[in-house]
Amino acid sequence: MNPLPPSSKIVLKILGTDGALTHKDIVNKTHCSPRTVRYALKRLKEHELIIEKMNIRDMRQIIYQFRVSPVKETRMAES
């Protein structure tokens, strides 16, 4: 896998410290452009480092959350 770009590392750090956030919240906290945040989230999803959830209050929004345990370790523990 390719290493994460700096924007993904910033987004991951924000999600790790602030908890679950929407795309708009991440843009406001990181001061990155919406396009940069979308790319960072895409890369984090590819690396399975974040979880995507639907916002119960507003189903049009997606909430992004830091994945506590990586998927690969979880799969190995279940076997």
What pLDDT is recorded for position 69? 73
Kindly report the number of other CB atoms within 10 A of residue 56's CB atom.
8
At CA 12, angle to CA 10 and CA 16, rounded to 5? 120
Mean pLDDT of 22-47: 96
| The pairing of beta strand 62-66 with beta strand 50-54 | antiparallel
- Give the residue with greater pLDDT, 22 vs 2: 22
Write the single-letter amino acid at 17.
T
Name beta bridge partners: 76.
none
Kind plus residue range of the DSSP H or E element containing 22 = strand 21-22
pLDDT at 16 over 90: yes
For 44-65, the pLDDT digits (tens) are 999 999 999 999 999 999 999 9
Output DSSP code: residue 31.
Answer: T
